[in-house]
Amino acid sequence: MVRAAPWLAWPVGLALALGHLLGGLLPGVAFVVVDAAYVLAVVVTLHRGRWTRDRAALALLGAGVGIFALASLTGVPTARQPTAMLLNAAVLFAAAVALAVGAVALAHRMPGLPARLGVTAVVVGSAGYLLNLLARWAVVLSGAAPWQAAVEDRAWVANVYLRGLDGVPDTMSLLLVWLDLMQVAYVVLTYVGFAGLAVAAGRAGAVSGSAARAVAAVGGVAAGLTVLCAVLAPVSVVAAEAAFVLTIPFMSTLVPALLACALLTHTPTAAPSLARDPARTNIILGK
């Protein structure tokens, strides 16, 4: 049960965030208290389990915890609430940087093609996504928030624009679509990238083979399903909705969190010691 504790951080955070954002789970002040308790529980659990030595893994797990804890407080980003949108962008920016840094750190200590391809996918996706987040600040600081607010409901939501925009889109609509597509690409590349890093971790013995295969499978299936849904979105409302859900920013932390938990809770299998088995030692030495 104790070893399973880190694996609960992501699903519990997801339930907490969705409960607050979609259902008004608790009043504002009460939610802040519960939110703080969630973060504290994760920190205490990691320290008590002595799962704090792998800083790269902690960065990956912390990115998800941070998004759930902090982005929940800022609410769904919208130009109708510029200040909240800026704070939300700052949280997402920090989480994306944490994932990229964690990916680079893991790839540095894990040789092989899967690690190189994985970290490349994460870094390339992160570059576009960070530009997306900086653009949100640019929109607000330039005074263009009202223009975005007028069109964001159709040009900044994947399940709408993937089905096609009505009429001739204006400049702001085109800009928002391209910026959001950067987010879609980022989440897909994050799925793929951390799947590759999971394979590399399995080969390096940093996680068990079964854990590596499971994490890689989740990443691969999520990436493939997202692309398929995006392609089918123009002809299927269900596919459009699925593509939207699969590319919400917090989904970018799913596969990294799984890999982080596998790294933190992995117990290396010790090689048999000949010194502890005199009979076997004598056989090998020909005695």
* Of 28-32, 101-105, 235-239, the least confident: 28-32
C-alpha 106/C-alpha 111 separation (Å) is: 10
Rounded average pLDDT over 136-143: 94
> What is the spatial distance between Cα 144 and Cα 150, in angstroms, rounded to a whole number?
10
The C-alpha atoms of residue 209 and residue 229 are separated, in whole angstroms, by: 30
What distance in Å separates the CA atoms of residue 56 and residue 43, rounded to the nearest whole number? Answer: 15
Q: Answer yes or no: are the C-beta atoms of 69 and 39 closer than 8 Å.
A: yes
Q: Quick check: 260 and 58 in contact, CB under 8 A?
A: yes
Residues 42-63: tens digit of each pLDDT: 999 998 888 888 999 999 999 9
15 residue type, one letter: A
pLDDT at residue 280 is higher than 50: no
Phi and psi for 2 in degrees, rounded to 5? -65, -40
- Residue range 71-110, pLDDT digits in tens: 888 888 999 999 999 999 999 999 999 999 999 999 999 9
Tracing tokens 């007028």 back to the chain, one arrives at 150
Residue 26: its pLDDT value, please? Answer: 75
pLDDT tens, 172-211? 999 999 999 999 999 999 999 999 999 999 999 999 999 9
In the block, residue with structure tokens 């570059």 = 127
